[in-house]
Each structure stands twice: as structure tokens, then as C-alpha cells.
Chains A and B, each alone.
Chain A
């Protein structure tokens, strides 16, 4: 499966961004994938390593998206997609699902974001002056998972950086992000800036720096 789009910008496709995140999953991790691009991580074959996917609605141990015609309409992931279960799966209710999260048993949560700061703050629940917001389970996951990885576009459609010195949008949590995969590369917020782990093919250091609202470090 490919997450690429016809008008994909220079650099990684959506699936390649998810590939970079999934490559960091360690054997035995309990992994929570947010809605959107993060779900592409579950397409990645990381054998021989195995992880357990947890979904906030109480699904532990789900597998690939159900093939057309074989969906169980009572089984969805966080994004409402009909998924399948792997051997060893279990169902719990919402309070237990978030006890798993708050209790610190999620090894990594992978989320999308509007903005991430060099200090590891990130924003993904409210835009601009919108009156409402969409928090879902993001604040619980961000505050309590052992690691927070983000997969996101490097800049807005109008070219404004999403990797910034300080978040302008209301944050989801502070000082929690350890890795960010974007269409331009893979970066780690380290306080004084973003350390470059990898640049996407065709992306120069200068181009990445120009698209980033904070210092890039090698």
C-alpha cells in the first residue's frame, strides 16, 4: 500500500514518513497510533520484531485494516476504520483503556501535529481562533506514554514552518516529543533546535533549514 499523493511535495511520501517511525519500534513495544498518517505505521512489516497495537477505544492487539466485505462493523481503531484482530487480542472498556495509557504502559504514541517546538512541546487539538477543539485521547497519551513520536508535514500549505522555536497554537503537552518524521526528513527536538537524524532524498540541509522555524543541528 502506498500513502503517496499525486501532488506529493519534495521528499518523503506519507508512507515513507510512517516507515521511518515504524523502523524505531522495538520488539515487544505497546504502540498507540493516532488518526491519519500514524495509522500508516501499521502497514509496515517490521519482522522479526513484533509490537502490540493499542487503540484508545479499548482494542488491544489489532492487525491490518479489514479486507472489503470482511469488516466487523463493531470493531474500529481510533480513526473509525474497521480493523482486524491478531491472535492474543483483548477488548477492554474506556476507563481500562486509559488506565493502560495513564499507567505508563504505552511504549510509544505516534501522532499527527500542527506544530512542534524545539523544546518538545506540540500542538494538535485546536487551530487558530476556533471555538471548539478535538482532543480525543491525545492529551492523555501525550502526557503518559513513554515516548511521543510525531509524523507531520514540515510546513503548512502556505509554507509557514510547523517545526518552530515555540508553539503559537494551544499545546497538547509540553516537553514530551522525542522524534518527528516529516516530508523533509527525521528530526529530534533537543531544546536549542532540531537535530537532523535523516534528510529525505533530494532535500538539502539548506532547504530543510529554510522550511524550519528553529535552528537545525547536525
Chain B
């Protein structure tokens, strides 16, 4: 069996080359691989294509997000469900670079993004969805009617690497998530050639997680790394609530 455990975060991302396509799990704070993102920023790979729910930076305190890699000039393109904030009055850190033409972006509805990743992992090259029919996103796309309803063709989205975060793992790479930490983690693991998971609790010996309680099986996971305790390791923070103006 190949050893999956890596000694530290830097070792877990050391071989990522320029030009790689990387998916980052997380929805809000939960399940976001803050430590792997920070390690990649240190590692220095560039010309990257990054996939995540959002470019980040809408909520405070700001934690490592893909916008930080954009700010460092490492990113060629992002594929996200948010390339602007939910509130029109907010400006994401990403926006400045996008408007200046320094980075490309592909805006994808969130469910389509999740399904494109799942499809990539499931051997499905493309699928039809009713999402985005009749919108600007439908322009130039292949359309087809099934049972009288219009659908759009969407392609699978395979990735080179997935960055994940889980509450618990055993050394076989079996993962367990806590609450809404799960979000994109399982489908990004499936879509990736190499899935790297940062783990919160001490990594357990194989067999310590009941097989019925495994959320993502270790066959999808290639590298595990233990998150150091704070302040060295990064952990979810309580969001600062904004006061309405």
C-alpha cells in the first residue's frame, strides 16, 4: 500500500506544477482547506486554474481563499459560482484583478459545478441540466428538449488536484466530515487525479472508522496531512456579523 500520510503541509503540495488545475472544497468556513491553500501560496506554483464555490473574501475575518492566489499573480483562470459578492454593494478582492483582465473567470451555477465534478469522477463526460435555461449563460450552448422541457449540455470537470478538509481520517484515507463541512469535499475528491486532505483530528489507524460511517472512501484520497494546532494551523473562525447600514 502506498503511504498516504505526508509529514507536513509543504510536503503535501510540493510537486504541484505550474499550469495545474486545482479544486478547493469549502462553503463558507466549513470544510475549506485553509492550510493547504496557505501552503500552495508559499509553494509558488503559477498559471493555475482554480475551482471553488467562490473567489472568497466576502466574509470577515478573511481566511486563505483562492482570491489570495489571484492577488499573488498565480492564477490564469477561476471557475466559480461566485465571481462577485452576494450583496451588490460588496466588492470581492478578486474583482479588481478580474476587471483589469489579469485573470479569466468562468461563472457556473453551483449545482452545475457540483454535478460537473461528480460527473468527472463518475465517468460521465457530459449531461443535460435545466439550470440556466433562458439566461445569459445559455448563450452558445447546446440545447435539447426532453419530454417537452429544455435542457443545456454541461461537460464534466476533471481536475488534477483537489484540496479537501475533513474532521477525521484513518491512514487508508477514509474520511468523515462534521456537519456542513462535507459540502464539495466528496465530489472534488472524486473529480481529482490526486486528492489531498487536511485532517483536523489525529489521523487514526486503518479500521478505526467503521466502514458504514465512511463518507468518502480512501480510494479517492491520495494524500493526508495533519493540521497543526493553532496558531500554526488554521481553523474556522466565528464570522463577524455586519451591522446593516
Question: Are A and B subunits of one complex?
Answer: yes
Residue of A nearest to B215 (CB): A93
Residue of B nearest to A85 (CB): B179
Tell whether, in the assembled complex, residue A75 and residue B30 are in contact, meaning their CB atoms are under 8 Å apart.
yes
Give the residue of A36, A132, A137, A139 whose beta carbon is less than 8 angstroms from that of B92.
Answer: A132
Tell whether, in the assembled complex, residue B109 and residue A140 are in contact, meaning their CB atoms are under 8 Å apart.
yes
Residue of B nearest to A94 (CB): B114
* Chain B interface, number of residues (Cβ within 8 angstroms): 59
CB-defined contacts of B167 to chain A, threshold 8 Å: 74
Tell whether, in the assembled complex, residue A135 and residue B185 are in contact, meaning their CB atoms are under 8 Å apart.
no
Give the residue of A73, A97, A135, A174 whose beta carbon is less than 8 angstroms from that of B82.
Answer: A135
Tell whether, in the assembled complex, residue A134 and residue B85 are in contact, meaning their CB atoms are under 8 Å apart.
yes
Q: Which residues of B155-192 are within 8 A (CB) of A?
A: 167, 177-187
At the interface, yes or no: A81 with Cβ under 8 Å from chain B? yes
CB-defined contacts of A93 to chain B, threshold 8 Å: 114, 182-187, 215
Report how far A35 CA is from B85 CA in the complex, Å.
Answer: 11
The 8 A CB mask of A89-123 against B (1 = contact, 0 = none) is: 00111110110011000000000001000000100
Tell whether, in the assembled complex, residue A135 and residue B238 are in contact, meaning their CB atoms are under 8 Å apart.
no
Tell whether, in the assembled complex, residue A132 and residue B238 are in contact, meaning their CB atoms are under 8 Å apart.
no
Tell whether, in the assembled complex, residue A144 and residue B82 are in contact, meaning their CB atoms are under 8 Å apart.
no
Known interface pairs A95-B114, A98-B111, A143-B130; A132-B83 also in contact (CB < 8 Å): yes
Residues of A bordering B, CB below 8 Å:
5, 35-36, 55-59, 71-76, 79-82, 85, 91-95, 97-98, 101-102, 114, 121, 126-127, 130-140, 143-144, 170-174
Report how far A134 CA is from B105 CA in the complex, Å.
Answer: 12
A-B interface pairs (CB < 8 A), number:
172
Which 5 A-B residue pairings sit nearest by Cβ, starting from the closest? A98-B111, A132-B83, A140-B111, A132-B84, A80-B28
Question: Is chain B's interface secondary structure helix, strand, loop, or mixed overall?
Answer: loop
Residues of B bordering A, CB below 8 Å:
27-31, 53, 59, 81-88, 92, 94-95, 98-99, 105, 107-112, 114-115, 117-118, 129-137, 167, 177-187, 215, 235-239, 244
Tell whether, in the assembled complex, residue B179 and residue A72 are in contact, meaning their CB atoms are under 8 Å apart.
yes
Tell whether, in the assembled complex, residue B134 and residue A171 are in contact, meaning their CB atoms are under 8 Å apart.
yes
Give the residue of B94, B107, B110 whose beta carbon is less than 8 angstroms from that of A140.
Answer: B110
CB A77 to nearest CB in B, in angstroms, measures 8
Report how far A57 CA is from B181 CA in the complex, Å.
Answer: 9
Known interface pairs A76-B180, A95-B118, A170-B136; A135-B81 also in contact (CB < 8 Å): yes
